[in-house]
Each structure stands twice: as C-alpha cells, then as structure tokens.
Amino acid sequence: MPLNHTSKYAKLTEAQYSAVGKAVVEWANVEFLLDVLLSRLLGTPEFLARTYTDSLSAVRLQNAISAAVGIHDHRYGNRLVSKEALAEIANINQRVTALRGMRNKIAHFCWVRSNDEELFGTSFRGGVPSPKKERYDSTVLKSSELAELNKEAYALVEQLMKVIACLPEVTEESFLAIPSSGQTKAAL
C-alpha cells in the first residue's frame, strides 16, 4: 500500500501535492525543450527529430546535445551557432544534470508527509540492503527546498526557450521544399 494512503497524517497537504506537481510539469517542459534544442542543433524539423528524441532518456538526450555542441564548435567552426550560444547550451546541460537527480527522486519515490513542512520519500528498492544503497533509497525534502527546485526548473525552462529562439530553425515547409538529388518523389 502506498505510504500516503496509510493514514490521514501521512497524506500530503494540498500545498505539498501542488509543489510535487509543479516539479513534474516543469521537468516535462525541460525534456520537451531539450528535444527542440537537439532538433535545432541537428538542423532537422522538430517533428522529424522526435522520431529520434522520443526514445532517448534525459541522460542520452543530454549526451546527444553535448556531442552536437562539440560538432558545431569544432567541425563547423561556429558558422551556424555562435560560440556564446554553445557555451550557454553547455551551461544549460549542466543545470539539467543538477536538477535531474532530484527530479528522478520526485517522480519515482513514494512520498509521505512527515509534517506540513517536510516530505519523506522512499524508493522501496529491492535487493540486499547496504550502506551505499541506503543513501539513495530515501530522502527528506523540506517544502522550501521543493519550492527552490521549482523556481530553478522554471528559470531553466525560460533560459531554454530563450536560447532555442536564437538558433536556426528548419521548418517542415523549408525542409520539404529542398529539391531532391535527381530523384522524383514517385521514384522513392
């Protein structure tokens, strides 16, 4: 039985539910915008890029972004994306990494109210207990920490939207207007 269903004292407050919900929503925004960011870096229309990005975990998506940043910097010599924009993207990637661990706990732990200002979360991980695993199996979050996390995630979404707006976009219309290399559409 989930912990927060065991008693009325274990149930999260509405403010705690709201804070956890905000964290989940903002992370969804971050992941969506990382998809868009990668599509811009790869010079691909967003919708087409989703055939690649949808199957990527956040870590792999970040790795792909890092690789694309390196290619733009070293191979393309910043002709499409400025050195400053690439530095900002690298900074964003670091911020995402910092938030990802906490996001994983919020999304995958079972939460219970310790009191009105604190939540306790556990992973209910199986296997043999060990001191190393113990550090990762549970956590305590104060409402103020969750509020700060949500503020950071919101600011990250804003920064992502700003940097994406500065990158060249390949629209579906422009992509489909590119002439083929001698083949007709019927021959494909």
Which pLDDT score is estimated for 59? 94
Which pLDDT score is estimated for 138? 84
Which pLDDT score is estimated for 9? 72
Out of 26-30, 35-39, 67-71, 98-102, least confident range = 98-102
156-178 average pLDDT score: 90
Long-range CB contacts for residues 77-84, cutoff 8 Å, separation at least 24: 80/43, 80/168, 81/41, 81/167, 81/168
Q: How many CB atoms lie within 10 A of CB 39?
A: 23
The helices-and-strands tally (H runs, E runs) of the chain is 7, 3
Q: pLDDT tens for residues 82-136?
A: 999 999 999 999 999 999 988 888 888 889 999 999 999 888 776 666 666 666 7
33-59 average pLDDT score: 93
Structure pTM?
A: 0.84
> Whole-angstrom Cα distance, residue 164 to residue 96?
15
CA torsion angle 157 160 161 167 (round to 10):
-170
Long-range CB contacts for residues 59-66, cutoff 8 Å, separation at least 24: 59/100, 61/31, 61/34, 61/35, 62/34, 62/93, 62/96, 62/97, 64/38, 65/34, 65/37, 65/38, 65/41, 65/89, 65/93, 66/90, 66/93
Query: What is the maximum span of the chain, computed from C-alpha positions, in angstroms?
Result: 71
Q: How many CB atoms lie within 10 A of CB 121?
A: 19
Which pLDDT score is estimated for 180? 65
Which pLDDT score is estimated for 182? 57
**Beta partners for residue 142, in sequence order:** 118
List the structure tokens of 26.
């903002």
